[in-house]
Amino acid sequence: MTDARTALAQAAERFIFSPTARLDAELLLAHALGIERNALLLDLTRLVPDRFWPLVERRARQEPVAYITGTRGFWTLDLMVGPGALVPRVDSETLIDAALRHFKGRRPTTLLDLGTGPGTLLLALLDEWRDARGLGVDRSPQALDYAVANAKACGMADRARFVCGDWATALTGPFDCIVTNPPYIGTGETLSHEVRGYEPASALFAGADGLDDYRALAPELRRLLAPGGAAVVEIGHEQAPAVTSLLEEQGFRVALHRDLGGRPRALLAH
């Protein structure tokens, strides 16, 4: 059997397509060993089980690490995720930060997450606002299966409800805070095989210019927000001017929030 140090180096060499090749290998080995990554790094002389290598083969085919391990950390939570659900991204934590900053000193009690996927944004905010209740909407039954499971695992099943539907259709509101990470990639844009080949197209693409879902969402946000409420919308880093215009046409005041890389990532409309 191979020791962990050697196995990690060998696995990382197979993942040259990934900018986080070494991290990918560490996460997969920790998963195979049934331990936390930090514990793995404390002892790289341990022997590697045979079950690690099939995981390496899956990652070498560019399957997302989160699909292989079945989990992805987001904000303060570990969320279950798999095929049919968009993998939570650290950039989306910008929306959580923006919402918390905007409502500092206040505690929204009614939340709505449009395009909730595995419950990513809704559950992160419910974990911060313990008196709040929320509704997550998604068109994918597969994604909602993960959302329901995550709510139970996080101890929020009594505060989170999920429905299968197309955006805000048939919703009445009002909601104090609405969050949404809609599809915003143009159909002609180039994506890695890791994304295009595995993650659900319905959660990625939004027409030729990537703005179709924003056009549908903007008037619904105005209709569903409670007085004094706010909506936080994820955007692609070149979409701020176009989406800002769509929101301003609905009478919103709009503030831009940047991700940790300094790129435009979220718009807060109120």
Q: Is 138 part of any known ligand binding site? A: yes
Token readout for 151 is: 């709510």
Look at residue 48 in the predicted model and tell me its pLDDT: 96
- What pLDDT, in 10s, does the model give residues 160-173? 999 999 876 778 88
Residue 183 labelled as part of a binding site: yes
Q: Which own/partner pairs from 192-198 qualify as long-range (CB within 8 Å, at least 24 positions apart)?
A: 192/17, 192/62, 193/17, 193/62, 194/17, 194/18, 194/62, 194/63, 194/64, 197/62, 198/62, 198/63, 198/64, 198/67, 198/83
**54 is annotated as contributing to ligand binding:** no
* Tens-place pLDDT, residues 46-80: 999 999 999 999 999 999 999 999 999 999 999 99
Whether 182 has a binding-site annotation, put simply, is: yes
Q: What is the pTM of this model?
A: 0.92
Q: Is 127 annotated as a binding residue?
A: no
Q: Is 118 labelled a binding residue?
A: yes
| 75 annotated to a ligand binding site | no
Residue 181 marked as a ligand binder: yes
Q: Please report, as a single letter, which amino acid is at residue 230.
A: A
The answer to the question of whether 116 is labelled as a binding residue is yes
Phi-psi region of 167 (alpha: psi -120 to 50; beta: other; left: phi over 0): left
Res 189 pLDDT > 90: no
Q: Domains in the chain, start-ordered, CATH in brackets? A: 4-61 (1.10.8), 71-269 (3.40.50.150)
